[in-house]
Amino acid sequence: MRFASIRSLVLAFSLLLAAAVPVLTPAFAQGPANSGGTTQNAVQGPASGSNPTASAVSEEQLFRQLDKLTGRVTIPDAKAALLQQPQGRDYRGFREGVLPWLGAIFVLGMILALAAFYFTKGRIRLEHSEESGRKILRFNALERFAHWLTAMCFIVLAISGLNYIFGKRLLMPIIGPDAFAVWSQYAKYAHNFLAWPFMLGLLVMIVVWIRDNLPDRTDVAWLKQGGGFLGGGHPPARRFNAGQKLIFWSVVLGGLALAASGLIMLFPFSASGIQGLQFDVNGMQLAQYVHATVGVILIAIMIAHIYIGSLGMEGAYDAMGSGEVDLAWARAHHSLWVEEQQAKTASGPQVGTGRAAPAE
Ligand code: HEM
């Protein structure tokens, strides 16, 4: 009798278990025992005989309700198990929404501001207009080489970088997907390879120009007079005025930030082994935030620099073209520097070519 009741108890329990397994299996498959899979808000559908998938977990529900979506991997790369996380969704929002707006506002805003300046005020001209006809060496061959190496690379990096942000939206509808795919592939190669000569040029510029770009008292006076726009006349300046120093430091700090974040992206996850550095998926996203944001800001700043160094200011281009500028231009824009060069001439030979006049 006792044996019979135990037997019927075991039978009833087995039947219950057999009925429960198909219902519980989907929930267990996503359960916490599943190698760290996150199911804070496990999704369960009602069991129904008429719809065999009704109790299965809906992918959309998971995306909406789970904080993180992870799977289970048997390969050594554990981070491959992470499928979705909130930071990833935030990054997608930045990449597809905020970044294109930021880029458009900075880049187009700068172009419009410069166009407005040009059409209302025109070029910045030499005061007392006449050129002296005498030349002074402003930048030697190494300085010009470093400048043009960095500048040329930066322009290609900027165009190929903007292609990442705007290409699919603006260029692809015009040239078609096939041509866009070919162009984008070459643009990507150019972006990855020209990053190296850009970093080299940046380092040389830092070495040759950092001394002349340290802030000093003349910068305060220059800034107070708005570089000559407020109060009339050119405020005295040494080799680089405060405006140029701002350009230099933007290029240096922006360039270093681009280089660091770019290297992290060129060698993804490779820094994760270094102590204290967390270059997991979130670290990679952080590198992209920095790279893209600094990139569009620096592009806008360099558009202003290119404008002033070419169309915007009479006589400026020669400094980076031939390396020599007219003495009258140098006196107007860098009076203290000309005096320093004069002092050097008095005490010894001035650095320069045969054609450059010794500053008198
Ligand atoms: C392609 C167009 C460019 C032109 C026509 C141009 C022109 C010039 C000129 C004329 C100067 C000397 C100004 C002086 O006499 O003091 C200069 C300086 C300089 N350039 Fe450029 N540049 C260009 C692009 C770039 C780019 C893309 C970068 C950096 C990414 C750059 C970085 C610098 C720096 C750091 C200086 C020294 C600081 C200063 O004068 O503002 N340039 N450039």
Instruction: Give the torsion sign (CA, 154, 157, 161, 167).
Output: positive
**Distance, CA of 255 to CA of 257 (rounded, Å):** 5
**Distance in angstroms (rounded) separating the CA atoms of residues 158 and 181:** 18
**Percentage with pLDDT > 90 across the chain:** 56
**pLDDT for residue 86:** 84
Question: What pLDDT is stored for residue 198 in this prediction?
Answer: 98
Residue identifier of the C-alpha nearest atom 7 of ligand 1: 309
Contact predicate 318/333, CB 8 Å:
no
At 36 the pLDDT is: 38
Q: In this structure, which residue's CA is closest to atom 40 in ligand 1? A: 244
Q: Whose CA is nearest to atom 30 of ligand 1?
A: 151
Q: Quick one: pLDDT at residue 71?
A: 86
Contacts of 228 (CB under 8 A, 6+ apart): 234, 235
pLDDT at 342: 84
How far does residue 180's CA lie from ligand 1's centre (Å)? Answer: 31
Q: Which atom of ligand 1 is nearest to the CA of 158?
A: 27
Query: Under a CB-based contact definition with an 8 Å cutoff, are residues 298 and 246 in contact?
Result: no
pLDDT score at 116:
96
Residues 6+ positions from 124 with CB-CB distance below 8 Å = 308, 312, 313, 314
Count of CB atoms within 10 A of residue 201's CB?
22
Encode burial over 148-171: b for 16+ CB neighbours within 10 A, e otherwise: ebbbebbebbbebbbbbbbbeeeb
Gap between the Cα atoms of 59 and 201, Å rounded: 50
Q: What is the CA radius of gyration of the chain?
A: 32
Q: Rounded to the nearest whole angstrom, what is the distance from the C-alpha of residue 202 to the centroid of ligand 1? A: 12
Ranges of the chain with pLDDT below 50: 1, 21-45, 348-360
Q: How many CA atoms lie within 13 A of 145 on its CB side?
A: 8
Cα separation, 164 vs 158, in Å, equals 10
Q: What is the position in ligand 1's atom list of the atom closest to the CA of 325?
A: 15
Burial-class residue 136 by CB neighbours within 10 Å (0-12, 13-18, 19+). Answer: buried
Task: Indicate which atom in ligand 1 lies nearest the CA of residue 198.
Answer: 30
Rounded CA-CA distance 328/126 in Å is 8
Q: What is the set of domains in the chain, with CATH numbers?
A: 139-357 (1.20.950.20)
Distance between Cα 240 and ligand 1 center (Å): 11
**Cα separations in angstroms, 53 against 47, 56, 160, 262:** 9, 5, 47, 46
The pLDDT of residue 282: 85
Among 349, 323, 319, 321, residue whose Cα is nearest residue 333? 319
Query: Which pLDDT value is given to residue 62?
Result: 66
Buried b (16+ CB within 10 A) or exposed e, 241-274: bbbbbbbbebbbebbebbbebbebeeeeeeeeee
Residue pair 70/82 in contact by the 8 Å Cβ criterion: yes
The predicted-structure confidence for 295-319, as pLDDT tens digits, reads as follows 999 999 999 999 999 999 888 899 9
If you measure from the C-alpha of residue 291 to the centroid of ligand 1, how many angstroms do you get, rounded to a whole number?
22
Strands (E) located in 126-203? 135-137
Looking from the CA of residue 209, the nearest atom of ligand 1 is 37
Question: Whose C-alpha lies nearest to ligand 1, atom 43?
Answer: 309
Residue nearest to atom 15 of ligand 1 (CA): 319
Nearest to 291 by CA among 268, 260, 253, 266: 260
Kindly report, residue by residue over 81-137, the tens digit of the pLDDT: 888 888 888 999 999 999 999 999 999 999 999 999 999 989 887 665 567 788 999
Q: How many CB atoms lie within 10 A of CB 352?
A: 19
DSSP-assigned letters across all residues of 45-71? PPP-SS-TTTTSPPHHHHHHH-S-EE-
pLDDT for residue 153: 98
Residues with CB under 6 A from ligand 1: 138, 147, 150-151, 154-155, 205, 240, 244, 247-248, 251, 302, 305-306, 309-310, 316-317, 319-320
Query: How many angstroms is it from 147 CA to the middle of ligand 1?
Result: 7
